[in-house]
A and B are shown apart, each in its own frame.
Chain A
Amino acid sequence: MPELTDPKPLTEATVAGVAVPAAPADPQREKARSLAGDAWRDLRRKPMFYISGLLILFLIVIAIWPSAIASGNPLACDLAKSQMGPTGGHPFGFDTQGCDVYTRTVYGARDSVAVGILTTLGATVLGSLLGGLAGFFGGIWDSLISMVSNIFFGIPILLGGVVFLSVVKGGSVATVTLFMVLLGWPQIARIARGAVITAKQQDYVQAARALGAGNTRMLLRHILPNALAPIIVVSTIALGTYISLEATLSFLGVGLKPPAVSWGIDISQASNQIRNAPHMLLWPAGALSITVLAFIMLGDAVRDALDPKLR
């Protein structure tokens, strides 16, 4: 999606297109000059990037060091305070078990962010590796890897998750991450495959081949840097959806399980009590939504910056 808040780049591009016809006629050279530097300059102009960046930084700090802003213990509960509203020192009130909702909401960030980031790393590495190999070598490798990724694509991700996690009965961050990588990599592999095929056909890559560059050098020096941009874009946006998926799985009772502290679990437990104590649902749900929003906003900003077609 092109600029969301700042319509300027569009006008600039159009003006440039009229005034200097040579510039858009040779986008490849412009891109090759310094895509990363260009993207970084573009990112720094966007308020969305700062808002989401600060939010994510805050979330990561909380995930590593939750006691910085929540002094209580998320598992220390007092049944006498079951479903009580906000009181002094407990701004979000208490849940059914009498646990402090504020403390649990803060501690819930850790597993959500961990699952999101680990899944993204795993799926991106696996997906770009397999997709890249398929795109680079083509032939039988391509057919094989494409078929396997199509098979995983055939299973709707939520459905596969519920079936897989319910029989594995794991409930830890590791199991949930492992499964999500398993169903998440084909999406990245498709993008990586396309990007590598496009890069492979460029003249400079052909030139490198003609000069006698080996496969490793071609891949690392010429193709990887040029295929990276679309992969980064898709991965960043996927991070937000992975966090949302983890919460959904935990909500359905097959993802993380108590005593893990997770927004999905808390929302699931609060959902039966929404008529008596809506505060139990709103705080973890709000925290979850803002987290997903932050990552999707970052992904949007990165895409605008990295995708030269949209400028």
Chain B
Amino acid sequence: MGRYVIRRLLQMIPVFIGSTFLIFFMVYALGDPVAALFGDRAPDPATAAQIRHDLYLDHSLPAQYVHYMGNLFKGDFGVAFNGQSVLQLMGDAFPVTIRLTIVAIVFEIIIGISLGVLTGMKRGKPVDTGVLLLTLVVISIPTFVTGYVLQYVFGVQLKWTAPSVSPSAPLNELILPGLVLALVSLAYVTRLTRTSIAENTRGDYVRTAVAKGLPRRRVIIRHLLRNSLIPVVTFIGTDIGALMGGAIVTERIFNIHGVGYNLYQGILRNNAPTVVGFVTILVLVFLIANLLVDLLYAVLDPRIRYA
């Protein structure tokens, strides 16, 4: 197990460097962060050169990248162009987005898996067909449409919840945005669980468990569910990164001041340190989530042992 973890961590290094360099390249080489500082006006060449020098931008791109990463591992993410430290921005933004992501994942697990088990057990029945068609419809409607429609219906018309979230983003205000963020993944979780359950109901071990005379509930939860959930866990794990990145849309609709909101503002203003800093952390989250998922395999399926 230990050796496996170390090997996986080593494999993560080139991917981490590659992904972050790609983003770094896009922002610093394809865009011009110094020109962005001057807004619509053309920068004074001497001032621009001085700023380039101060920001270490007068070196080659690989040198800039190494310099940036060196600072990053010392805990210095640089300063956003409005003078705030990027670390400070992250400290404010990440807790909000993490809360939002947790709400979304809870929805995925509770609703998605329940519906998946229900339809998987009742394959071909009207419930099954109905839920499956519903998931297709949910997958087809883009998040930004469901977001505005649900915000309008529940926030403005019915007044069940606040239409936009306050800066402190308490958990109760994040329920509707969390649901909006979760919806598409929720539909995938439902379908994945359904397929998995349907495949496993015909498994020998389920027949054995039934033949032993175990109560139905115990067969489903202890035997069937545990084996069927492996692909679902993979999906939810890899979805964490996508959810945090996808929050860019949801956070904009509900005015949540989280990672997506900061990133979007940073991108619009070509605020290079903010964008690269936030994306670097998101890439790291994504890679670690994937590693954890692989390790969880061994817990869920005793046949898998990592040497």
Contacts and interface: CB of A to CB of B under 8 A. Distances in A.
B78 interface: no
B286 interface: yes
Contacts of B264: 162, 252
Interface stretch (B65-73, B93-101, B244-252): B244-252
A5 B139 contact: no
Residue from B26, B124, B140, B248 having most chain A Cβ neighbours under 10 A: B140
A163 B267 contact: yes
A156 B145 contact: no
Interface in B150-201: 152, 156, 191, 194-195, 198
Interface string B208-241: 0000000000000000000000000000000001
Contacts of A254: 267
Contacts of A268: 144
10 contacts: A4-B136, A150-B15, A151-B22, A156-B242, A156-B244, A159-B248, A159-B282, A166-B268, A281-B149, A293-B136
A278 B157 CA distance: 12
Contacts of B51: none
B62 interface: no
B142 A154 contact: no
A182 to B, nearest CB: 10
Contacts of B242: 156-158
Interface size, A (range): 35 or more
Contact of A289 (B16, B142, B156): B142
B118 interface: no
Residue in A148, A150, A254 with the greatest tally of chain B CB atoms within 10 Å = A150
A97 interface: no
Interface string B133-148: 1001101111111001
A232 to B, nearest CB: 19
Given A155-B23, A167-B26, A289-B141, A162 B248 contact: yes
Contact of B245 (A150, A158, A240, A278): A158
A165 B123 CA distance: 44
Contact of A288 (B30, B137, B142): B142
A104 to B, nearest CB: 16
B146 to A, nearest CB: 9
Given A5-B129, A148-B18, A167-B30, A154 B140 contact: no
Dominant secondary structure at the B interface: helix
Given A163-B23, A247-B142, A147 B248 contact: no
B262 interface: no
A306 interface: no
A297 B14 CA distance: 38
A159 B19 contact: no
Contact of A158 (B132, B133, B156, B249): B249
Contacts of A156: 241-242, 244-246, 282, 286
Nearest to A159: B245
B283 interface: yes
A157 B239 CA distance: 12
Interface in A120-171: 147-148, 150-160, 162-164, 166-168
Nearest to A4: B132
A7 interface: yes
Contacts of A252: 248-249, 252, 264
B61 to A, nearest CB: 14
A292 B249 contact: no
Contacts of B253: 271
Contacts of B143: 248
B133 A274 contact: no
Interface in A67-110: none
Contacts of A159: 245, 248, 263, 279, 282
B145 A289 contact: yes
Given A1-B195, A292-B140, A274 B152 contact: yes
Contacts of B275: 163
Most buried by A among B123, B141, B253: B141
B207 to A, nearest CB: 14
Given A151-B19, A292-B140, A296-B136, 17 more contacts: A10-B124, A147-B15, A151-B15, A152-B19, A156-B241, A156-B286, A159-B245, A160-B22, A162-B263, A163-B267, A164-B30, A244-B142, A268-B144, A274-B148, A281-B145, A289-B137, A289-B140
Interface in B1-60: 14-16, 18-19, 22-23, 26-27, 30-31
Nearest to B194: A1
A2 interface: yes
Given A147-B15, A158-B249, A288-B145, A167 B124 contact: no
Given A244-B142, A251-B249, A166 B132 contact: no
A158 B246 contact: yes
In the A-B complex, the 7 residue pairs with the smallest Cβ-Cβ separation, listed nearest first, are A7-B124, A156-B245, A151-B18, A154-B19, A167-B31, A293-B140, A159-B245
A296 B137 CA distance: 10
A258 B263 CA distance: 23
B15 A271 contact: no
A74 to B, nearest CB: 20
Interface string A233-259: 000000010001001100111100000
B295 interface: no
B31 to A, nearest CB: 4
In this complex, the member of A148, A251, A268 whose beta carbon has the largest number of chain B beta carbons within 10 angstroms is A251
A111 interface: no
